[in-house]
Chains A and B, each alone.
Chain A
Amino acid sequence: MSQPTISQRGRDWFHALCGSTPLQKGLPPSLLVADGELAGQPARYVAVVADPHNPFVRARHGEVGLLEGWALAAAIDAAVHADQQETDKRAIVAIIDVPSQAYGRREEAYGIHQALAAAAAAYASARLAGHPVIGLIVGKAMSGAFLAHGYQANRLLALDDAGVMVHAMGKQAAARITLRSVDELETLAASIAPMAYDIASYASLGLLWQLLKVNQPDQPTPADVQRVRSALADALHDIQADPQRGLQQRLHGEHRQATRKVRELLQGQWAENAG
């Protein structure tokens, strides 16, 4: 069993970026949502944070659980609905610091996969509807939690810091499932880029749009906040200048050669077998 420590990063960066903008009401305390601005344009900021009183005990350390999945979906869907008639859709900024999805009996019994699907679908629909969606990784972005909160973004940004990590599974569990020791796993991770736990290796996969160096990732200084705000504005403008609403921007990494080869081949054969 592992006892996760509670990270404050998501909450801190949410407040640093939103200032005194009031929180949306009617959502569980583990979900922070506020309508602020980005580069003078309307933007909805969203963060999943730890709620030590979460009614679902396996989701008290900032995990994305049943409530968080459905509430994310509700908050994102509401923005899409509100902007239905607008030509300029508000940006959605997901502030990502999620240690994992919630692991528990209640979660499986009550369909956590469906709750997370709702969140992923809401983000994807927002992006397809023309909302610029930006994911800002300030801490952990793990597995199903990241799939539900942020991985559908048009652009992903991450702080360049040892506390920032993207991965499919924590080390202990990954070792058990692949029948390896944690030491063996770490040795492999050093030479296999997609298995590595550090953000520089992740960046080599081409999935990030930008890696940002700040001075204090835990307690951001005004200069740090300024730096991140300006990178988010750049991302916003980059999305708005891009005619495509899909995730194509992620396909160019040095360690995604096989992806490009497969896609090119399939596309060619698809056209040959048309009709």
Chain B
Amino acid sequence: MSHQQDIARLLQGRSFIELSARERAHSLLDAGSCRELAGPFERLYSPWLSAQGIVTQADDGVVICKGLLDGQPAVIAAIEGSFQGGSLGEVGGAKLASALELAAADNRQGIPTRGVILFETGGVRLQEANLGLAAIAEIHAAIADLTRYQPVIGIIAGTVGCFGGMSIAAGLCSYLIVTREARLGLNGPQVIEQEAGVAEYDSRNRPFIWSLTGGEQRQACALADALLEDDSTLIRQQLLQFMARGLPEQPRHRRSRHYLERLLAMDSAAQADADSARQLFHSGEKP
């Protein structure tokens, strides 16, 4: 592409990453259908952050929007990465868990509400440690419940990525959409470096971090289903496609015997890199 074309594309494109959580939810739902629930005017502040002299936010960093996706009922739970690193505390965690539970309850009443989670999160908010962890367990429970009826679709756009207990939530989703800016991993780089040393994991080496946990690598390892450009229109199209596809025949997390065998057969003494990961996930695949 020429320089001119690059510039034109940049000016015309609609970045998804640059949107706030609220704007992201609005941009995905059918025009005019979006209703925010338990929104900022309810002033649901974290009671624990203020007790520690930390600035709070009226939505606690989680936006719940109910509306339509291609005419079908849906709820989008969007995490705001720019507030406290997208960490989940008591209030935000309760919003997310409760919204997904209500979507599952809808399905039991014959209303086919779908779930979408926009991940931009480091996981548990350490200032609310055990209440964040408890809420994340409840989010896992709610995804497991809702995916009995409808696909739950996760989007990790970046730039925060998706870590900690919320990476497990991503692993429970029916489909995952990522961009190149996204990262998905259980443990944040700093924590691994703290626990295992810099030789094991250099948290300052960004190319290394992305080579193992970046969106492109995760999609190449089939730990994500679609790798997209940072473009709101493309992301919405892909979301609607996955919605239309319905529940996956065999979700990733149901392949325990397969992965267990693969991991036991591999050379675990050798240190991992991007290639060894791709090999692990592609060898022994069913034809």
Query: A: which residues have CB within 8 A of B?
Result: 1-2, 28, 55-58, 66-67, 70-71, 73-74, 77, 100-101, 103-118, 120-122, 124-125, 127-128, 143-144, 146-148, 151-152, 166-170, 172-174, 176-178, 188, 191-196, 202, 205, 207, 246-247, 250, 255-259, 261-263, 265-267, 269-270, 273-275
The reply to whether A113 and B144 form a contact with Cβ atoms under 8 Å apart is no
- In the bound assembly, the distance between CA atoms of A172 and B184 in angstroms comes to 23
Q: Which chain B residue has the least Cβ–Cβ distance from A77? A: B256
Interface bits B171-207 vs A (CB < 8 Å: 1, else 0) = 1100000000000111110111011110011000000
Q: Which chain B residue has the least Cβ–Cβ distance from A121? A: B253
- In the bound assembly, the distance between CA atoms of A267 and B75 in angstroms comes to 13
- In the bound assembly, the distance between CA atoms of A212 and B172 in angstroms comes to 33
The reply to whether A259 and B90 form a contact with Cβ atoms under 8 Å apart is yes
Counting CB contacts under 8 A, is B247 at the interface? Answer: no
Query: B: which residues have CB within 8 A of A?
Result: 35, 37-38, 42, 44, 46-48, 51-52, 64, 66, 73, 90-91, 93-95, 98-99, 101-102, 111, 123-124, 126-138, 140-141, 144-145, 148, 164-165, 167-172, 184-188, 190-192, 194-197, 200-201, 212-213, 221, 223, 251-257, 259-260, 263-264, 268-269, 271-274, 276-277, 280-281
Determine the chain B residues whose CB is within 8 A of the CB of A122 once the complex forms.
253, 256
Q: What 10 pairs between A and B have smallest CB-CB spacing? A: A117-B171, A124-B144, A109-B272, A113-B167, A73-B256, A151-B137, A103-B195, A118-B253, A194-B131, A262-B94
Q: Which of B94, B102, B172, B273 sits near A270, CB closer than 8 Å?
A: B102
- In the bound assembly, the distance between CA atoms of A77 and B212 in angstroms comes to 29
Q: Which chain A residue has the least Cβ–Cβ distance from B39? A: A269
The reply to whether A117 and B168 form a contact with Cβ atoms under 8 Å apart is yes
In this complex, which of A114, A255, A267 has the most chain B Cβ atoms within 10 angstroms of its Cβ? A114
Determine the chain B residues whose CB is within 8 A of the CB of A114 once the complex forms.
171, 223, 252-253, 259
Q: Which of A106, A113, A174, A258 sits near B171, CB closer than 8 Å?
A: A113
- In the bound assembly, the distance between CA atoms of A14 and B95 in angstroms comes to 37
Q: Which of B51, B133, B252, B268 sits near A106, CB closer than 8 Å?
A: B268
Given A73-B256, A177-B191, A273-B37, output 9 extra A-B contacts at Cβ < 8 Å. A104-B201, A105-B196, A120-B140, A147-B137, A192-B52, A202-B130, A262-B38, A266-B38, A273-B35
Known A-B contacts A109-B273, A113-B171, A194-B48; the reply to A167 vs B144 at CB < 8 A is no
Q: Which of B94, B134, B269, B281 sits near A258, CB closer than 8 Å?
A: B94
Determine the chain B residues whose CB is within 8 A of the CB of A67 once the complex forms.
260, 263-264
Determine the chain A residues whose CB is within 8 A of the CB of B164 once the complex forms.
143-144
Determine the chain B residues whose CB is within 8 A of the CB of A192 once the complex forms.
48, 51-52, 127-128
- In the bound assembly, the distance between CA atoms of A190 and B202 in angstroms comes to 33
- In the bound assembly, the distance between CA atoms of A265 and B91 in angstroms comes to 12
- State the Cβ distance, B274 to closest chain A Cβ, in Å: 7
Q: Which of A71, A111, A118, A169 sits near B221, CB closer than 8 Å?
A: A111
- In the bound assembly, the distance between CA atoms of A101 and B167 in angstroms comes to 13
Known A-B contacts A104-B201, A109-B212, A124-B144; the reply to A259 vs B130 at CB < 8 A is no
- In the bound assembly, the distance between CA atoms of A176 and B190 in angstroms comes to 8
Q: Which chain B residue has the least Cβ–Cβ distance from A118? A: B253
- State the Cβ distance, A16 to closest chain B Cβ, in Å: 27
Determine the chain A residues whose CB is within 8 A of the CB of B276 once the complex forms.
109
Known A-B contacts A108-B187, A114-B223, A261-B44; the reply to A194 vs B102 at CB < 8 A is no
- State the Cβ distance, A226 to closest chain B Cβ, in Å: 30
Determine the chain B residues whose CB is within 8 A of the CB of A108 once the complex forms.
185-187, 192, 201, 212-213, 272
- State the Cβ distance, A173 to closest chain B Cβ, in Å: 5
The reply to whether B268 and A168 form a contact with Cβ atoms under 8 Å apart is no
- State the Cβ distance, B84 to closest chain A Cβ, in Å: 10
- State the Cβ distance, A155 to closest chain B Cβ, in Å: 13
Determine the chain B residues whose CB is within 8 A of the CB of A267 once the complex forms.
98, 102
Known A-B contacts A67-B260, A109-B212; the reply to A104 vs B95 at CB < 8 A is no
Q: Which of A105, A174, A275 sits near B129, CB closer than 8 Å?
A: A174
- State the Cβ distance, A183 to closest chain B Cβ, in Å: 15
The reply to whether A167 and B223 form a contact with Cβ atoms under 8 Å apart is no
